[in-house]
Structure 1
Amino acid sequence: MELTATTIIVAFAAVFLISFMRGAFGGGFAIIGIPVVSLVMDPVTAGGLLAPLFVAMDLVALRYWKPSTWSRPDLALLLPGLVVGIGLGFSLFGVLDHRAISILMAAITLIFVGLWFGGGAEVTVRPRSTPKAIAAGFTSGVTTMVAHSGGPPLAIYLLPLGLSKQMYAGTTSLFFTVGNAIKAAPWLFLAKPAANVWTLMAICLLAIPAGVWLGWRFHGKLGQRQLYRACYSLLVVTALKLLWDGVSGFLG
């Protein structure tokens, strides 16, 4: 990767976009900003660049998504699977077929969103399920380690619970705070960032505080139903991106 003005501008814009999503929705939609970074570097280098920046975003986001916004019963069920999933994703990083995983996650996500919109797009309140939570945490752990795309499995579990918009964002935020802290070192080991990547990382740090703050302000302007509609709509975008990654990988 060459540290040119174009590279800096594109990476800075991508980090700002991901930070905005972090502040607005608590996390889980980083994959929307990743294609922007991939315009100027290969996916592994992008992963190494973003992994520490995700941790910085988490530290800033903790200022807004405080413990009062965390759903502790759900986190207690989700986090063990997340840890195991990240470990498995790291150990099998070179073996797993990233293309097949992307296509499978895209299909599941599109079916989930289609059922919600087909059912009237209403905010529901359903009881939590221990098996579903464990499966969601584990699947999110694998996909966040493999492709920074752990958002869909978590959303598929959390959205049907009908949590308040603050509780949904806060729970998502802490979930990915834990996940990003665990996967930062493995990603740095896999990517082995060069000196110019570390320089770019330092520059992109400047985009994080404003991005998270603006996202948090945007969150405050959304009603409960608006936030849920936005999350489901973003899941469609995420699924289409995963589908494109998978299909183009097989065709290429």
Structure 2
Amino acid sequence: MSALLIDPWFYAVAVPAVILVGLTKGGVGGFGLIGVPLMALAISPVQAAAILLPILVVMDIVSLWTWRGQDDRKTLVDMLPGALVGIGIGWATAAFVTADVVRFIVGAVTIAFVGRWLYVTYRHGLSHVSKPNRPLAAFWGTIAGFTSFVAHVGGPPFQVYTMPLRMDPKVLTATGVVFFAIVNAIKLVPYFALGQFDAANLTASAVLMPFAPLSTLAGAWIVRRMRPEVFYPFTYATIALVAVKLLWDGVVSLL
């Protein structure tokens, strides 16, 4: 038996990580970005990402069923082609680009994004809505695909484009669910090709798997009961906290 499967410290960080990712998959805030860094307290970030990916796919299946028929198809059509390009770039540069560099960049961009939201809210109030923009959607879709492949942190780039559109929280959640379900399914191929799915990692994924559907359904239950005036400030606040964590992790690793 792999030493990982009998290590209590691994479960102490992995179980909360899976639960937080599941809540996010259900639509609650941005806590899912803590998943890999939290598991990296016990194992390497690369191994943590490999263990989480099959769990993410199961969460995606649960989320697709939970939020079926509520997504915004135009946003998906505008963003998904870019996401495929981003995954390809991530695969091609896997040997050169580290997850720590990606976390630093994503953290910095996301903090700027939250700062812009605070400024716009101060000038125009919470009711300000941005218009759909296909070139911007393709750009941020590419960034989301790339950062999702390298470090499972595709959420902030996706939200940089979609949050200002001020969709209904249920529509925004459902759109994100479909987007990342497709992205994660495609990522399985390059992850397998890079040799990340060995017996130890897949066994660890299977042991943690029962927490996936329960936490995802719990997140969906919470979002369905949140009003937009609560959902958006709460989500921006959690994104800001995660951005600070990503930025800090990146700075520490690069010093």
Is the 2:23–2:32 contact (alpha carbons within 8 Å) kept by the matching residues of 1?
A: no
| CA apart distance, 1:58 | 0.2
- The answer to whether structure 1 residue 175 and structure 2 residue 179 are counterparts is yes
In the TM superposition, 1:165-204 aligns within 5 A as: 165-204=169-208
Structure 2 partner of 1:110: 111
- The answer to whether structure 1 residue 21 and structure 2 residue 7 are counterparts is no
Structure 1 partner of 2:95: 94
Out of 151, 154, 174, the position equivalent to 1:147 is 151
Out of 37, 42, 48, the position equivalent to 2:39 is 37
Structure 2 partner of 1:70: 71
Structure 2 partner of 1:46: 48
Matched pairs, number: 249
191-200 vs 211-220, greater mean Cα deviation: 191-200
Is the 1:48–1:191 contact (alpha carbons within 8 Å) kept by the matching residues of 2?
A: no
Structure 2 partner of 1:132: 136
Q: TM-score, normalised by structure 2?
A: 0.91
How far apart in 2 are the matches of 1:53 and 1:184?
Answer: 12
1:17-69 deviation line (CA, Å, top 9, x unaligned): 211111124x86532222221122101111110111111100011121112x1
How far apart in 2 are the matches of 1:196 and 1:11?
Answer: 15
Over the aligned positions, Cα root-mean-square deviation in angstroms equals: 1.8
Give percent identity, aligned residues only: 33
| CA apart distance, 1:141 | 0.7
How far apart in 1 are the matches of 2:104 and 2:15?
Answer: 29
Secondary structure in 2 aligned to 1:2? helix
112-121 vs 31-40, greater mean Cα deviation: 112-121
Structure 2: stretches of 5+ with no match in the other structure = none
1:68-89 deviation line (CA, Å, top 9, x unaligned): x111111100000001100111
Q: TM-score, normalised by structure 1?
A: 0.92
| CA apart distance, 1:93 | 1.0
With over 3 angstroms needed to count, the CA separation of the structure-2 counterparts of 1:237 and 1:214, relative to structure 1, is same
Is the 2:14–2:39 contact (alpha carbons within 8 Å) kept by the matching residues of 1?
A: yes
Structure 1 partner of 2:13: 10
Structure 1: stretches of 5+ with no match in the other structure = none
1:187-238 deviation line (CA, Å, top 9, x unaligned): 2333534423222211111001110111111112211021111221121122
How far apart in 2 are the matches of 1:111 and 1:229?
Answer: 16
| CA apart distance, 1:9 | 4.1
With over 3 angstroms needed to count, the CA separation of the structure-2 counterparts of 1:9 and 1:249, relative to structure 1, is closer
125-134 vs 235-244, greater mean Cα deviation: 235-244
How far apart in 2 are the matches of 1:130 and 1:192?
Answer: 34
With over 3 angstroms needed to count, the CA separation of the structure-2 counterparts of 1:187 and 1:237, relative to structure 1, is farther
Structure 2 partner of 1:56: 58
How far apart in 2 are the matches of 1:53 and 1:101?
Answer: 22
